[in-house]
Structure 1
């Protein structure tokens, strides 16, 4: 008997029947099972609550979807055990004498011991061999360390620790179990400031959010969910009372991450930089989420003062400054309207018609019919008030059919709107397994080589693209990024000799110019050097988005293999796995 945790009461009215596994509140008449209680108090979906209750009882819930695979499940379990063992070592190292530089760095960012403990921050020593030995002494095999992403092997079958001389941020799933790490370099000469674990048996980057476990428990009290850019933003907000904060892992928010966020709150608030780049990122997020909108399910957008991020804002101006920013967050419908309204003056009939067409295109992207009709009505009302006219928006049929019957498809639509089953345009399909993915992967690399300035814009994202259909592209990527890091030119003429020595000259030949179009190797014209930087960037980002969707549909690789392993050597020579800006 006790106080019911879901409403205020002074007299205990909450009763639990342990023999039957049931609870009942005589105050509000709520009742349920242990699973129902865990779902409500920890904001978990049903199956996650079942797994948590089972784990507390010493039981394991079989996974659904396909035949049981005991060997794979054993490796998953051992990988999780390896991650937890490594976490204990990292935390101990942070407090040891060798962690002094890491502690000084955290202190410079306003993180004290209590915050470091709350977020289980740690330190990966400069000499990673000690970590490997300690893990083996704890009973963690090298194979389990590889499955966990802690150890990688090169093509000589030599093993190297993935994280060295870095502040470690554990990444947990919604149940609080560690599945990966983020790591911040302490060496200012390190080529990648942030690294994330590679995708493993237990970690899919595009479906995970940093601080998901703690934010999940804080959302109910906060009444909001804040999506920020980085680990430091999350920690800074949490220490100042905004505990319902999460962050993607170094990339733009993916569709799967948005769905994960919606499981916590129906309208997450995306905290964006207040400059032009932040506004453009907000517009891209809006466009990407339109097809996913549903009843009660949307996004809001909060724009920070220029030059500020959530970390600096709350440290310099206090919690009230952030509270004011999120209080002014724009609903998605407002951002959509303002974006299109601001594009040009509406002082002529032609411009008004153009405005109508742009609104029409936005509405067509929404797949849920009820939400699509609601946007139609809202835009029509605003158009009437603003332009004293009637807004004509086509609303019959399904959204994809209207797109096909209407305007030509943009780069983004050619990739993102077709879905995983239509990965390449029809003129390139030949029925061979993974052929579309192979062409897309080659195009992602081709564009970086061919289009001047593109690698400057996409360096971090390029480092994270998983190549599955053509694993040899991992080696090409490493070479390109190393050249770029050392300010060496990355263009067809400079890269050709290196590619020829490895039998890959087709990467520069196939997309040399529009007059040398080769449909066997090129997916979209954004790889051509004369496509223009803006068009190339839009097409490249859309291609990467579809590549991630395709990878996430399939099982991640069982471990880091020779074709996927990072090169050996000092830490600043292995930055090309998963990075965070």
Structure 2
């Protein structure tokens, strides 16, 4: 439904913003002036001790001067509760007493029909819950005991039991006056084609209700209690209420915890999700099947910008991850992606929690791998690159995949990242081939060809200087965030680097991003300065085609080793800072290098004019000195602002997944 601006304005006018926000914050009495509609509080979007969150009832706007969050009535609900915009409008319209436009008559009829089917599903849910407590539910109670599900968990998730009888639910619903046709439409009863009597879809199964965004029961998932029963898990069929490809299990419960933590966890099955939620992590959901759909991807992004998907580390789990990558790629956009975790073979989240507590599960989450890593390993591990034709085939396959990304900025970032990885892969393979040939000729091993780097990049020297660190950090940021290099390539290419290794690396990196943009990697990687690969190999440590599948320990170790030096230089990156912070930091490093270059130019000019300084030269030097002083002040101010923002980020986003573990422990 589309809402007119006048309707939205009327809702805002009738409902003070402070009334909505007050449910989430406590007002600071010293700074707030209620009579003027002026309120202050500690921000609900990040942790702080001094109130910097302001609500202006007269304008109907809020703004945090600490983290920059801002918006109106509807934005506040979508940000704090994960509601879609129409849901926020409907809720606030109800609270303010503003009538919404009458829906289309046909849509109204469909909505009424869906409401009737939801009522039938609710009756079924209550029936299944009751059956779990009766004499026929012993096997189901034994199963939930083995799964260590607590009584409060059974109540919260409304877990029940479908009896073995052919038509137990059908008879119950008939006694409530429900027509058989409605039971069939709700997906609860099956009518055979051969004219036999209809019968219950779910029999002798542990029953888990599937609820919509409003918490209404709209379908069921049933886990067989027969050791030989098939299928092991059975979902309701497609109905007017339930569309499997659009639903995510536990979405309505996970929405608020996900927004508070800034993270969402996606597991494979609903019993896995229930086990994780019972352990204290409420921001968990489950896909209703192994293949993600575009609609499910969009719903997961409503929970968090980068949800973490947990897959089994076996072949089936890796295959499911690969299918998910293909579904996700086209919809990637700035600030939105997915992380992937491959659990140890044979383990599911429930196993990890039972064996090592919630910390064992969060430790696995802390090893989440970026989507691009999973994509890269999938393609490289399946490829042979021992001939020019095969190298070209790998490059084309990766290029075809990245071209499916519709967001231009993300697509260009992926393309540059892939080109850098391919350059390193082809170079290392060629180097290994040349070493093998040399060793065979020499009849001994271990020799490194002349002129090729054998050790990690150390720079031309190791001065105790922050400027050396700034250069190395900037090189690392260019590799980890290639989209920043794309946007600021002119400034990066003209920056003055004091270290020759860094300068050479920068030159080749910019050449790949500009002059060689349309040249196949297989056609230029051998022309690059060999020193370029010193820093490139250091950053892409372990990203070879060798090793185990993505679910193996070796793959996890490789993922952790990437950009290790950069993380040591910039620990704030462990806290997943927002993209605008990263870009401001990137530009600040460029400002520092440019300021240093100005200072060196000024020193050189003063030295040249020391014996013949006339009035014109003096005025020029004075102007340059003033400009240098201004730039230094700007750099110092920017550095302080970045430090203040970093403190806010560290408080709001604990490193890795440790904050989630702490929160879970507190709730448990």
When the two structures are superposed, what TM-score results if normalisation uses the length of structure 2?
A: 0.53
Residues 324, 137 of structure 1: alpha-carbon distance in 2 compared, 3 angstrom cutoff: same
226, 229, 232: which one aligns with 2:268:
229
- Deviation (angstroms), 1:189: 3.6
Q: Please state if 1:372 is matched with 2:372.
A: no
Gaps of 5+ in 1: 396-581
Q: Please state if 1:115 is matched with 2:140.
A: no
Whole-Å separation in 2 of the counterparts to 1:16 and 1:144: 54
Whole-Å separation in 1 of the counterparts to 2:262 and 2:84: 18
245, 264, 282: which one aligns with 1:206:
245
Whole-Å separation in 2 of the counterparts to 1:238 and 1:341: 36
Q: Please state if 1:289 is matched with 2:323.
A: no
Whole-Å separation in 2 of the counterparts to 1:119 and 1:23: 41
Q: Please state if 1:254 is matched with 2:279.
A: no
Residues 119, 54 of structure 1: alpha-carbon distance in 2 compared, 3 angstrom cutoff: farther
CA contact (8 A) 2:131 2:160 kept: yes
CA contact (8 A) 1:4 1:14 kept: no
Whole-Å separation in 1 of the counterparts to 2:33 and 2:319: 53
Whole-Å separation in 1 of the counterparts to 2:362 and 2:196: 52
Whole-Å separation in 2 of the counterparts to 1:266 and 1:278: 23
Q: Secondary structure at the match of 1:181?
A: strand
Larger RCO, structure (CA 8 Å, separation 6 or more): 1
Q: Secondary structure at the match of 2:361?
A: helix
Q: Secondary structure at the match of 1:318?
A: helix
Q: Secondary structure at the match of 2:106?
A: coil
- In the other structure, the counterpart of 2:110 is 72
Residues 63, 110 of structure 1: alpha-carbon distance in 2 compared, 3 angstrom cutoff: farther
Whole-Å separation in 2 of the counterparts to 1:218 and 1:249: 21
CA contact (8 A) 1:13 1:25 kept: yes
Residues 59, 5 of structure 1: alpha-carbon distance in 2 compared, 3 angstrom cutoff: closer
Whole-Å separation in 1 of the counterparts to 2:406 and 2:198: 48
Whole-Å separation in 2 of the counterparts to 1:319 and 1:13: 41
Q: Deviations over 1:19-66 (max 9, x none)?
A: xxx9965652236577555434421011123344567799996786x7
Whole-Å separation in 2 of the counterparts to 1:73 and 1:266: 31
**Structure that is richer in helix per residue:** 2
Moved more, 381-390 or 300-309: 381-390
- Deviation (angstroms), 1:296: 1.6
- Deviation (angstroms), 1:206: 0.7
173, 182, 202: which one aligns with 2:221:
182
Gaps of 5+ in 2: 1-17, 42-50, 61-71, 428-507, 520-668
Residues 127, 296 of structure 1: alpha-carbon distance in 2 compared, 3 angstrom cutoff: same
Whole-Å separation in 2 of the counterparts to 1:307 and 1:258: 26
Q: Choose 1 or 2 for highest CA Rg.
A: 2
Whole-Å separation in 1 of the counterparts to 2:82 and 2:152: 25
Q: Please state if 1:124 is matched with 2:158.
A: no
- In the other structure, the counterpart of 1:29 is 54
- In the other structure, the counterpart of 2:309 is 270
Q: CA RMSD in A?
A: 3.5
- In the other structure, the counterpart of 1:105 is 143
- Deviation (angstroms), 1:136: 3.7
Residues 358, 123 of structure 1: alpha-carbon distance in 2 compared, 3 angstrom cutoff: same
Q: Secondary structure at the match of 1:149?
A: coil
Q: Please state if 1:144 is matched with 2:182.
A: yes
CA contact (8 A) 1:4 1:12 kept: no
For this pair of structures, how many residues does the alignment match? 391
- Deviation (angstroms), 1:270: 1.2
When the two structures are superposed, what TM-score results if normalisation uses the length of structure 1?
A: 0.60
- In the other structure, the counterpart of 1:402 is none
